[in-house]
Amino acid sequence: MNPSPSDLRERVRAFVRDELFPLEPAFLNAPLSEVGPRLDALRARVREMGLSTPSLPRAWGGLGLSLTEFASMSEELGRSPLGHYVFNCAAPDIGNMELLLHHGSQAQQARWLRPLVDGRIRSCFGMTEPEHAGSNPVMLSTTAVRDGDDYVINGHKWFASSAEGAALCVVMAVTDPGAAPHARASQIIVPTDAPGYRLVRNIPVMGHVGEQYFSHGELRFDNCRVPVGNRIGAEGAGFALAQERLGPGRIHHTMRWIGMAERAFDLMCERAARREIKPGQPLATRQAVQFMVADSRAEIHAARLMVLDAAAKIDREGPKAARHEISMIKFFVANVLQRVVDRAIQVHGGLGVTDDTVLSFFYRAERAARIYDGPDEVHRGVLARQALRPYGVEVEL
């Protein structure tokens, strides 16, 4: 039987606090090789506790949570940079798992989904290309040309998160250049030991090249050959599948951000209460600090209500009906996160920029929140288009 939502939430919160927070100093300050084995042990333990891949159906070993239920759990996990990984529900793996679950063939599920769910392998997703603005998915140069029973793939991808150590890459490639823009591409599974597949480098991001799961790869496909049976879904369905992935993906991301924002908020309040400016006068006696606290509380509250509202709408009516909400939360929550983390750093003073707290990691790792999965500007444009359509205007993006 399922635990009640609040029981589950409480269990997850305690686990994150008791097991993951203590690992963070090592994670922040040492090579991954040090903390990696302990993370793997925790992943195994979470699986044994039955809490792994919670958004997957129980038949596949998950908890069968609705999007709304998962959203709250995701907030708890997001309080640590290690949460989603340890619960095996981190992007891009979880997105690939859901893709294979809904659209993979039985053979694909047996070969790839099973070990992903079991945490025996990892995966990556090859979509963005350095030569093209990620915000315009129609501009795609990677091609997959059919040759007998194979696809021959050529192209260049980057920001393929977690590529290092991945067993497979789901790659978006043009299979029919002559088709309508949104019907040109397909999603194809490329085992990372396929000939012609190459991880060029881990892209240095915010001062680090990263390692393994915590990295972003640049990939080359040079006449990379894979069987046609590795295609997920119909030929030309690539964009449709990507689109489908986005709705729930946004809920995952934004609730994770809210978890981070809550963590930053907690650290900010703690610091405000403890750090004295003058004897007997902690920072919290200063109105400027109080207002950082108040504004953060109000903004996080607004953000959470918006995400839960969007999740409920997706659960109820499907992602298409919730497009409006999905665009909104992406840029709204990302900006709330950036502001809250910024304030928490400011309240910490010098300590805030050190790696003695997790704030500096949030600050660096999540500047990209306003960029990946579409920059703020694209989402504001999409929202404006929807809002202005009833007035007879078709906004061109």
Q: Do 162 and 126 form a contact (C-beta atoms < 8 A)?
A: no
Calpha distance 179→373 (Å, rounded): 24
Among 285, 312, 315, 339, binds a copy of itself (CB under 8 A): 285
Give me the residue label for tokens 């500047």. Answer: 367
**393 lies in the binding site for a copy of itself (CB under 8 A):** yes
C-beta of 113 vs 267, nearer to a copy of itself:
267
Calpha distance 383→324 (Å, rounded): 6
Among 10, 57, 181, 290, binds a copy of itself (CB under 8 A): 290
**217 lies in the binding site for a copy of itself (CB under 8 A):** no
Q: How far is the CB of 315 from a copy of itself (least distance, A)?
A: 16
Calpha distance 51→275 (Å, rounded): 38
Quick check: bond before 227 cis, omega within 30?
no
Q: How far is the CB of 289 from a copy of itself (least distance, A)?
A: 8
- Describe the crossing of helices 323-348 and 287-317 by its angle, rounded to 10 degrees: 160
**339 lies in the binding site for a copy of itself (CB under 8 A):** no
**360 lies in the binding site for a copy of itself (CB under 8 A):** yes
Residues in 240-269 at the binding interface with a copy of itself, rule: CB under 8 A: 269
Among 26, 49, 110, 288, binds a copy of itself (CB under 8 A): 288
What is the torsional sign of CA 145, 151, 155, 160?
positive
The CA-based angle 273-276-278, given to 5 degrees, is 140
**Chain-centre distance of CA 101, in angstroms?**
18
Among 32, 205, 228, 312, binds a copy of itself (CB under 8 A): 205
Residues in 19-58 at the binding interface with a copy of itself, rule: CB under 8 A: 28-29
Calpha distance 272→358 (Å, rounded): 16
**110 lies in the binding site for a copy of itself (CB under 8 A):** no
Among 295, 312, 315, 339, binds a copy of itself (CB under 8 A): 295
**367 lies in the binding site for a copy of itself (CB under 8 A):** yes
Among 223, 276, 316, 318, binds a copy of itself (CB under 8 A): 276
**212 lies in the binding site for a copy of itself (CB under 8 A):** no
C-beta of 62 vs 352, nearer to a copy of itself:
352
**Chain-centre distance of CA 156, in angstroms?**
22
